[in-house]
Amino acid sequence: MDLRDIYAALRTRWWLPVLGLIVASSAALGLSLAQTPLYTASTQLFVSTTEQTSTSDVLQGSQFSEQRVTSYARLITGQEIASRLIDHLELRLSAEELSKELSATAVQNTVLIDVTVTDPSPRQAQRIAAALGSEFTDFAAQLERSDANGVSPVKVTVTQRPSVPSEPSSPKSVRNSILGGIVGLLVGAGLAVARARLDRSVKDSDVATELANAPVIGTILRDEALLRRHTIDRGTASRTAEDYRQLRTNLQFLNVDQPPKVIMVSSAVPSEGKTTVVVNLALALADAGRKVVIVESDLRRPKVSRYLGIVGEVGLTNILAGTANIDEVLQSYREGMAVIASGPTPPNPGELLGSSAMTALLEKLRTEYDFILVDAPPLLPVADASTLAPAMDGVLLSIRYGHTQKDQLRQAAATLEGVKAKLLGVILNIVPPKAEGASAYGYGYGYGYDGKHSQLGPPTADRR
């Protein structure tokens, strides 16, 4: 996964890092506010020797003191000093509890000991720290005396008196919230990238081309209005209308010497927008002055007649069964565009579509129309489309952005190859306007992603 893929994953799933940021920072802040504030008072002790009569004595005394400070730091946090402090201050704590509030650090290469006391009460933290200085001074002197009446060779002096802390040392709510937010942001970004890596759907035209071994000849952006009414408003300069004009142009130039006339439009699985492609491609071709007929060959779940608001009870199955001829079921939708609806649902759709009657029908239509668009069932669930495909000049596969799986597209292309059908190209359908690379499909020339009209109007070549 390169940087471009990571950027695309974060751009598509930007809400995951944002959600992680909000949740983690809020959780860290909540936990911080739920904790009891603790205050820290500090003091500092200086360790020296008492007998220093010469330079060598001073040097030896300094080395002796440095050796002592490490041991003294351990003693300060021990339970003996804690017990002395409890007795001195009459604290309601056990020696074990108090020792946990004490911390002592021997400053490296010095004879200094930094001591801190952390307590829920700022005043008590200061009192304990102040008492610790005097208590430990006496305790160290007792330890270092050679006998009961002797003088200690070591002297402990308080060099920094503790003050009452004005602000709690913990929890640091702002810092914790910031750190929590950073962690949440990183976790959310990681989830976004992980989901992108695990996502097996087709979202890139180059990937689609590689999987299908055929070019992507059209990209149709998602249009909420089109999803509702299924036909484009051809009199506007909406992005979707222009996408279908571009698809029409690309289709006409697939093979200049022998342009395909009988074209089957299918998909790998249902709900890929193939019927909407058939209807609107036919409208775009008719707008360009081409004579087009749609043959509704999805006999199991016909949608063309419903999308166009025409009669679907009579049509293709009647012709193939020999109970009607073309003229009796052919319906004119608009100038230059006609439709043969599916007709009654037969018990054997595959056999009808692969019959000689279907081949004869297509040959007759070929002589009367510039384009015959065949709306076929999906390739993978049933064999109807693969039975029909060999009789076509070519097949267009509609794949839905983020829905069609890579394996499904590969298998659909292999199915067509297995029956010796020609795959003309792939249509990347229902692409979100904010998807990576969506702006490049239309080059941003006068078309809003929301489908609103441009001030430029339709391209001059399509104005009629």
Mean pLDDT of 24-36: 91
d(CA 142, CA 186): 56
Judged against a pLDDT cut of 90, whether residue 185 lies above it is answered with yes
Pick from 437, 455, 278: which is nearest to 371 by CA?
Answer: 278
3 state DSSP class of 172: coil
Provide the pLDDT for residue 393: 93
Pick from 228, 223, 265: which is nearest to 240 by CA?
Answer: 223
Provide the pLDDT for residue 59: 52
Mean pLDDT of 328-333: 93
69 pLDDT band, cuts 50/70/90, is confident
409 pLDDT band, cuts 50/70/90, is very high
Least confident span in 19-23, 67-71, 90-94: 67-71
Provide the pLDDT for residue 6: 81
Q: Which residue has the higher pLDDT, 336 or 227?
A: 336
CA 402 → CA 142, 224, 336, 408, distances in Å?
Answer: 79, 17, 35, 12
What is the b/e burial string over 398-426, where b = at least 16 CB atoms within 10 angstroms of the residue's CB? bbbbebbbbebbbebbebbeeeebbbbbb
Pick from 444, 433, 436: which is nearest to 7 by CA?
Answer: 436
Domain boundaries, the chain: 3-35+172-197, 39-160, 203-462
Pick from 219, 218, 222: which is nearest to 432 by CA?
Answer: 222
Judged against a pLDDT cut of 70, whether residue 438 lies above it is answered with no
Strand 262-267 to 394-400 pairing: parallel
Pick from 3, 20, 11, 23: which is nearest to 188 by CA?
Answer: 20
Specify whether domain 39-160 bears CATH 3.40.50.620: no
Least confident span in 16-30, 107-121, 138-152, 423-437: 138-152
Provide the pLDDT for residue 142: 86
d(CA 162, CA 122): 11
235 pLDDT band, cuts 50/70/90, is low
Residue 378 DSSP label:
-
d(CA 223, CA 241): 10
Pick from 410, 408, 364, 358: which is nearest to 384 by CA?
Answer: 358
**Other residues' Cβ atoms within 10 Å of the Cβ of residue 144:** 17
Provide the pLDDT for residue 461: 35
* Rg, the chain, Cα only: 41
451 pLDDT band, cuts 50/70/90, is very low
Judged against a pLDDT cut of 80, whether residue 151 lies above it is answered with no
Q: What is the pLDDT of residues 262-296, one digit of tens each?
A: 999 999 999 899 999 999 999 999 999 999 999 99
**CATH superfamily of this structure's domain 203-462:** P-loop containing nucleotide triphosphate hydrolases (3.40.50.300)
Provide the pLDDT for residue 396: 95
Q: Is the pTM here over 0.85, yes or no? A: no
3 state DSSP class of 258: coil
Diameter of the chain measured on Cα atoms? 130
Mean pLDDT of 116-131: 94
Ramachandran class of 129: left when φ > 0, alpha when ψ lies in -120 to 50, beta otherwise: alpha
Provide the pLDDT for residue 114: 94
Mean pLDDT of 294-308: 93
3 state DSSP class of 158: strand
Give the chain's length: 464
Judged against a pLDDT cut of 50, whether residue 333 lies above it is answered with yes
Q: Which residues contact 255 (CB under 8 A, 6 or more apart)?
A: none
3 state DSSP class of 105: strand
CA angle 414, 415, 418 (to 5 degrees): 85
